[in-house]
Amino acid sequence: MNLVVLFQRIFIWVDFKLLFTSNTDEAMLKEAIRGEETSLQEYKNILKSEKFPERTETLLQNQLDRIQTNLVQTQEIKNSIISS
């Protein structure tokens, strides 16, 4: 699947789902985490299943690393909101 299409589908789903759920910080963070986890898994699958030129693979790996960092940070924010 094309990465641009994947991200468009994820963001449309997040926007759509938030229309029908409470817009609490916790609900939005849960949805952000779900989207990051989905993106992370897609990047992992793509990097495992396809061969890319070295520069492209490095770029994709860097993006995967940033997604992982964002996921951890978002989970930490969610945990701090829940515990307060």
Q: Where along the chain do its domains lie?
A: 3-83
d(CA 32, CA 54): 30
Residue listed under structure tokens 């992370």: 40
Return the higher-pLDDT residue of 26 and 1: 26
Please state, in angstroms and rounded to a whole number, the distance separating the CA atoms of residues 3 and 12: 14
pLDDT at 16 over 60: no
Q: Whole-structure pTM over 0.75, yes or no?
A: no
* Residue pLDDT, tens place only, 17-74: 555 556 677 878 888 898 889 989 999 999 999 899 999 999 999 999 999 998 999 8
